[in-house]
Amino acid sequence: MSTHITSLGTHHYLPIIDEASRLRQCLVESETRLQQVASDLAAALSAAAKLRQECDDAQTRLSLLAPIWKVPVYIMQEIFFHCLPADRYISPASTKAPLLLTQVCSSWRNLAISTPMLWSSLFVVLSPFNANERTRHVKLWLGRSGQGALCFNVYAPTVDLQLHPLLGLLAANIHRLNHLSLTIPSTHLSSVNGIINGNAPLLESVVITLSKGGTAGHPTHPLRITSKSATRLRSLWLCFRDQVMQSYSFNTTHILDLNIVQTTLTADQCLQLLAGCPYLKKAQLQVVNTPILEASGSKCVTHHHLNSLEIHSMVSLGSFLDHLILPNLLYLMVADASTDLESSTSSIVWQPSSFINFVGRSQCNITSLRFTQVLESDDALISCLRSTSHSLKELQVSDLRGVTFPITDRVLQLLTIHPPNPQTPSLCPRLETIRFGTCLSSTDGVLAQMLESRWYSAEVSEFARPKFMNPRLDVKRNPRDVAMLSKLRAAGLQTV
């Protein structure tokens, strides 16, 4: 519409014939356009109403879904991780995570398979009947675990197993192993040694158990663990099933926990192991069958960090203790490793003087002493108690053979608290846990007197009150002792 035609409605004069004609035509066009706009507006409003209804319907359907479907993926992965069994090594089972999670729906299956931390642990049992199939399963499992840290446990004790494919998978993933446990025939020991000797920067614990059967011989790849080959190794457990310990060295400052069990060791080897791990805190050594020879030239080992030591021996440990200085030792266990339970004597000749000299030389504060089938007399026990009296909190004396009874009236009377008297000092004022088992041979009432004196004197003196006591008593032979135990048990003493 021209500007002239538009201005006609703002003036008070009659248009000429041409202007009137154009004005009528313009009005017709405007009316037609208005009808078209009204039609388009109605269609748009109808479409908007339809879209609004679809939106409301979608919101209604979403409100019917379970909240779990609204959880973000990273939170779902964390939930899946907490569904895993608490064991360090996961045994695959369709009724447990992570395999169970793959059977719920396709969405959960895809999410579980694409979450490497769900597959970072594996315990596999191999036999001649399933070795090939299980090896394929292991390969698939490891593939899902990505490149993160891995916990791997293999139980394959059968001698005629073909373990080379599985050991190949182990070698390919040694760089990401965090915890490793192997139970294998001795014939594969050399291959395992060669693998562990490689670069294992994440390895923190190793357990190697040789199954019975076969002979290890001299491995072509001795185990050589150093600070460079396993920079994070903290715990090492070797069980060689009564075979000889040979061609092994652990020169690393990182190992804190060392266990050599059911393995034939010499006392010299024990000293070498302790010397090779200067920051060791806990050591268990089984079985020592050869004492230190004077001609061996073994030097005295001073270990400033060791606080727990267990020795299972078949020979006298006097010379071994003579070569040790452990200033921070808190726990000491000495056990007879002989398997002859029918023998009436211990295979260990306990030398109290060596123990006393060891404690004095080390200046250690031993808080826990345990003797198993070692002490033949109360004199031997009393000498140990005297040398550790100021610090001892726990004492255990046991004999599975039931032939030695070192817990006599003399021992109990020395542990009994008397009125202040320099001539009758009481031993072990801090003693709280007493485990005598079947080694008790005292007169009825002596044990009761000792317990009663310690229980009630703790209220007015520096002596510790007993917390645990487990003697094997006969009601007919020890009625007073049994009565006192029952009384103190009601007052809080633990007996089981």
Percent of the chain residues past pLDDT 70, beyond the cut? 84
Which pLDDT band, with edges at 50, 70 and 90, does 345 fall under?
low
Q: Which two tokens stand for residue 337?
A: 């490793």
Average pLDDT, rounded, for the chain? 84
Average pLDDT over residues 82-110: 91
Q: Is the pLDDT of residue 362 over 50?
A: yes
More confident residue, 8 or 385: 385
Distances (CA, A) of 457 to 386, 424, 465: 21, 16, 8
Task: Supply the pLDDT for residue 370.
Answer: 94
- pLDDT, tens only, 438-481: 888 889 999 999 999 999 886 767 788 999 998 888 888 999 99
Q: Is the pLDDT of residue 74 over 60?
A: yes
Task: Supply the pLDDT for residue 381.
Answer: 92
Task: Supply the pLDDT for residue 13.
Answer: 58
Q: Is the pLDDT of residue 66 over 80?
A: no
Task: Supply the pLDDT for residue 334.
Answer: 92
The single-letter DSSP state of residue 175 is G
Q: Is the pLDDT of residue 374 over 90?
A: no
More confident residue, 158 or 257: 257
Distances (CA, A) of 199 to 26, 99, 167, 233, 283: 92, 31, 15, 12, 25
Average pLDDT over residues 231-238: 88
Task: Supply the pLDDT for residue 341.
Answer: 46
- pLDDT, tens only, 271-309: 888 888 889 999 999 877 776 655 455 678 899 999 999
Q: Is the pLDDT of residue 232 over 60?
A: yes
Helix (H) or strand (E) holding 301: strand 301-302
More confident residue, 52 or 2: 52
Helix (H) or strand (E) holding 469: strand 468-471
Task: Supply the pLDDT for residue 5.
Answer: 54
Average pLDDT over residues 76-98: 91
DSSP readout, 279-292?
T--EEEEEEEEEPP
Q: 89-93, 220-224, 376-380 — which is least confidently predicted?
A: 220-224
Instruction: Report residue 406 CA to chain centroid gap.
Output: 36
Task: Supply the pLDDT for residue 318.
Answer: 85
Average pLDDT over residues 480-485: 93
Q: Is the pLDDT of residue 3 over 60?
A: no
- pLDDT, tens only, 315-332: 888 888 989 999 999 999
* Helix, strand, coil share (%) of the chain residues, nearest 5: 40, 20, 40
Q: Which two tokens stand for residue 467?
A: 């917390």
Which pLDDT band, with edges at 50, 70 and 90, does 112 fall under?
very high
Task: Supply the pLDDT for residue 295.
Answer: 42
Q: Is the pLDDT of residue 180 over 90?
A: yes
3-state secondary structure of 260: strand
Percent of the chain residues past pLDDT 90, beyond the cut? 39
Average pLDDT over residues 95-101: 93
More confident residue, 217 or 110: 110
Task: Supply the pLDDT for residue 399.
Answer: 83
pTM of the model: 0.79
Task: Supply the pLDDT for residue 244.
Answer: 54
Query: What's the burial of 458, exposed, middle or buried (CB within 10 Å: 0-12/13-18/19+)?
Result: middle
Taking the CA atoms of the chain, what radius of gyration do you get in angstroms?
40
Average pLDDT over residues 211-234: 67
Domain boundaries, the chain: 62-119, 125-255, 407-496
Q: Is the pLDDT of residue 21 over 70?
A: yes
3-state secondary structure of 22: helix
**Which residue, 314, 306, 301, is CA-closest to 282?**
306
Task: Supply the pLDDT for residue 61.
Answer: 76
Q: Is the pLDDT of residue 144 over 90?
A: yes
- pLDDT, tens only, 402-439: 667 788 999 999 999 876 655 567 899 999 999 988 88
Q: Which long-range contacts (CB under 8 A, 24 or more apart) does 294-300 make?
A: 296/268, 298/267, 298/268, 298/271, 298/323, 299/271, 299/323, 300/324, 300/325
